[in-house]
Amino acid sequence: MALDIDTREHLIETLRRFVAERLRPIEAQVAENDAIPDDVLGEMRDLGLYGLSIPEEYGGLDLSMEDECLVGIELGRTSPAFRSAFGTNVGIGSQGLVMFGTPEQKAKWLPGIASGEIVTSFALTEPEAGSDSAAVRTRATRDGDVYVLNGTKRYITNARRAGLFTVMARSNPDIKGGGGVSAFLVPSDLTGLSVGKSEKKMGQQGAHIHDVNFENVRVPVENLLGAEGEGFKVAMQVLDRGRLHIAGICVGVAERLLADCVAYASERKQFGQAIANFQLIQGMIADSKTEALAARALTLESARKRDLGENVTLEAAASKYYASEMVGRVADRAVQIFGGAGYIADYGIERLYRDVRIFRIYEGTSQIQQIVIARETMKRGG
The residue within the footprint of ligand COS, chosen from 62, 67, 68, 240 (CB under 6 A), is 240
The residue within the footprint of ligand COS, chosen from 78, 182, 237, 324 (CB under 6 A), is 237
The residue within the footprint of ligand COS, chosen from 134, 244, 292, 334 (CB under 6 A), is 134
- In the complex, the smallest distance separating the C-beta of residue 312 from ligand COS, rounded to whole angstroms, is 9
How many CA atoms, within 13 angstroms, populate the side-chain half-sphere of residue 158? 28
Residue among 169, 373, 382, 348 at smallest CA distance from 264: 348
- Which residues pair with residue 143 across a beta bridge? 146
Residue among 88, 226, 82, 241 at smallest CA distance from 155: 88
- In the complex, the smallest distance separating the C-beta of residue 313 from ligand COS, rounded to whole angstroms, is 4
Q: Does 180 interact with ligand COS (rule: CB under 6 A)?
A: no
- Other beta carbons within 10 angstroms of residue 35's beta carbon come to 16
The stretch among 123-131, 245-253, 319-327, 337-345 that binds ligand COS (CB under 6 A) is: 123-131
For 6-144, where are the E strands, in sequence order? 119-123, 139-143
- In the complex, the smallest distance separating the C-beta of residue 164 from ligand COS, rounded to whole angstroms, is 16
DSSP secondary structure letter of residue 3: P
Size of the site for ligand COS (CB under 6 A): 22
- Other beta carbons within 10 angstroms of residue 22's beta carbon come to 16
- In the complex, the smallest distance separating the C-beta of residue 317 from ligand COS, rounded to whole angstroms, is 8
* Residue 9 appears among annotated catalytic residues: no
The residue within the footprint of ligand COS, chosen from 115, 120, 313, 319 (CB under 6 A), is 313
The residue within the footprint of ligand COS, chosen from 179, 192, 196, 229 (CB under 6 A), is 179
Q: Cα 131 from chain centroid? A: 16
- Which residues pair with residue 194 across a beta bridge? 213
- d(CA 316, CA 238) in angstroms, rounded, equals 11
Minimum CB distance to ligand COS smaller for 182 or for 288:
182
- d(CA 5, CA 19) in angstroms, rounded, equals 21
Minimum CB distance to ligand COS smaller for 111 or for 196:
196
Residue 218: strand, helix, or coil:
strand
- d(CA 130, CA 360) in angstroms, rounded, equals 14
Q: Does 362 interact with ligand COS (rule: CB under 6 A)?
A: yes
The residue within the footprint of ligand COS, chosen from 139, 142, 233, 354 (CB under 6 A), is 233
Residue among 198, 251, 248, 255 at smallest CA distance from 36: 198
The stretch among 58-66, 138-146, 200-208, 361-369 that binds ligand COS (CB under 6 A) is: 361-369
Among all residues, whose Cβ is closest to ligand COS? 364
Q: Does 236 interact with ligand COS (rule: CB under 6 A)?
A: yes
- In the complex, the smallest distance separating the C-beta of residue 145 from ligand COS, rounded to whole angstroms, is 28
Q: Does 239 interact with ligand COS (rule: CB under 6 A)?
A: yes
Amino acid at 191: T
- d(CA 140, CA 150) in angstroms, rounded, equals 7
Listed in sequence order, the residues at least 6 apart from 18 whose beta carbon sits closer than 8 Å to its beta carbon are 43, 47
The residue within the footprint of ligand COS, chosen from 125, 158, 166, 182 (CB under 6 A), is 125
Active site residues per annotation: 363
Q: Which residues bind ligand COS (CB under 6 A)?
A: 124-125, 131-134, 177-179, 232-233, 236-237, 239-240, 313, 362-364, 368, 371-372
